[in-house]
Amino acid sequence: MQNHALSTTPDTRPPVDIPTMIQRCLEYENRNLSVNSLKELQRYFKEFVSYCTDQGISYPGELTPEFLKIFLDHRCKDVGPTTKKAVVWSLRKLGRFMALLQVVKRDPARDLRHPEIHPRSELPAYLCENDLRKLMEYVSRQNYQEFTIISLMTVTGLRPSEIVRLKRDDLNLVEHHFSVQVKGGWIKKSPLSKAMVTVLNTFLSIRVDEVDALFINSRGNPVSVSWLQKMVKRMGNGTGLSVSLTCNHLRHTFATHAADRQGKVITKALMGHRFMATTEIYTHLSPRKFKAFKLSHPYNSSKERSRT
């Protein structure tokens, strides 16, 4: 009887507070999210904890659907649909985790809704053939590392985070390809054109250091994403482009060209997309004005142009 009494005694341990629950949620999501997505989730969770503290909310059981809706309206009062979608995403992560651990009877974020965003409405502008040629001609007169980076982004569509992680050993210039860790953490093998191989060989020949990173700053450390973004903007300003050039412009320019000339399946592989639906965005945009795109690089010969 004594054992039976002990087994039926209610659990009197204090409930886990919201910051602790959120920390456990982050540890759980660490297995599923990329580094950048995890940082974004941490940022939105930090804002949510601060709001809960201000409102006197301490425990997961107090997170009702109504409270989450009020927070969502407060947080997204003066922001666009993209940010609101991200906030809803973070709250849903937390709600599902709490329901999984059964610290709440029902996921309080289950009914939260974000505005439907047509994928094409979010795409930045891409460079026309003439602007792309002007950019490459201007960049070819700058620092050779900057020229190499812009060239690589232009002909491969790499994301900034992928560029800064590249190492010398990732390149196979003999077989004209390289390996890169893309969004989601998987390794993608990408082809390199003869022109890009020439650029990379020249760049490596003038390097006097033994640093593993492919692109480094003056201190010998890998370049950062912020440095890369500022450099791309500076190159766009120097070219005199009508848009404030970003890394996304270069990626979307490449993607539009690839979708136009290669089709959806090959473009999906080149872009490192996980889902065909993402790639289809670019096929809808395709203007069929990029036939001369491959000629925009200064290392392509006049003989190649005449054959095209």
| 1 lies in some domain | no
Q: Is the pLDDT of residue 301 over 90?
A: no
Q: Is the pLDDT of residue 125 over 50?
A: yes
Stated pTM of the model: 0.54
Whether 32 and 159 share a structural domain? no
So what's the pLDDT on residue 156? Answer: 85
So what's the pLDDT on residue 11? Answer: 47
Query: Which runs of consecutive H residues, i.e. helices, occur in the chain?
Result: 2-7, 18-29, 35-54, 65-75, 81-101, 129-139, 144-156, 160-165, 194-205, 225-239, 247-262, 264-271, 276-285, 302-307
- As a whole number of Å, the CA-based R_g of the chain is 25
Whether 279 and 251 share a structural domain? yes
Q: Is the pLDDT of residue 27 over 80?
A: yes
* pLDDT confidence tier of residue 7, bands split at 50, 70 and 90: very low
* pLDDT confidence tier of residue 280, bands split at 50, 70 and 90: low
Q: Is the pLDDT of residue 215 over 80?
A: yes
Residue 56 tokens read as 């006197």
| 222 lies in some domain | yes
* pLDDT confidence tier of residue 248, bands split at 50, 70 and 90: confident
Whether 221 and 285 share a structural domain? yes
So what's the pLDDT on residue 262? Answer: 61
| 52 lies in some domain | yes
So what's the pLDDT on residue 204? Answer: 96
- Domain end position, chosen among 82, 115, 148: 115
Average predicted confidence (pLDDT) for the chain: 82
What is the span of the domain harbouring residue 244?
A: 122-299
Which CATH number characterizes residue 244's domain? 1.10.443.10
Residue 233 tokens read as 């903007």
Number of domains present in the structure of the chain: 2
Whether 164 and 82 share a structural domain? no
Which CATH number characterizes residue 89's domain? 1.10.150.130
| 2 lies in some domain | no
So what's the pLDDT on residue 290? Answer: 43
**Comparing C-alpha atoms, which of 147, 119, 144 is closest to residue 255?**
119
* pLDDT confidence tier of residue 261, bands split at 50, 70 and 90: low
| 3 lies in some domain | no
* Separation CA 90–CA 87 (nearest Å): 5
Task: Map tokens 């920390």 to a residue.
Answer: 23
- Domain end position, chosen among 115, 149, 175: 115
Whether 183 and 87 share a structural domain? no
| 304 lies in some domain | no
So what's the pLDDT on residue 81? Answer: 83
CA distances from 237 to 138, 139, 234 (A): 10, 11, 5
So what's the pLDDT on residue 118? Answer: 54
In this predicted structure, which of 29-33, 46-50, 104-108, 159-163 has the lowest mean pLDDT? 29-33
In this predicted structure, which of 45-49, 111-115, 116-120, 168-172 has the lowest mean pLDDT? 116-120
* pLDDT confidence tier of residue 269, bands split at 50, 70 and 90: low
More confident residue, 198 or 286: 198
Q: CB 67: neighbour CB atoms within 10 A? A: 15
Task: Map tokens 């639906």 to a residue.
Answer: 277
So what's the pLDDT on residue 293? Answer: 45
Q: Is the pLDDT of residue 24 over 90?
A: yes
Whether 243 and 134 share a structural domain? yes
Most confident of 10-14, 34-38, 216-220, 295-299: 216-220
Q: CB 296: neighbour CB atoms within 10 A? A: 24
| 75 lies in some domain | yes
Whether 36 and 184 share a structural domain? no
| 219 lies in some domain | yes
Q: Is the pLDDT of residue 6 over 80?
A: no
User: What is the three-class DSSP state of 188?
Assistant: strand
Whether 127 and 215 share a structural domain? yes
CB 185 within 8 A of CB 162: no
The average pLDDT across 268-297 equals 56
Whether 279 and 228 share a structural domain? yes
The average pLDDT across 18-46 equals 92
More confident residue, 121 or 251: 251
Whether 170 and 225 share a structural domain? yes
Whether 126 and 237 share a structural domain? yes
Whether 136 and 76 share a structural domain? no
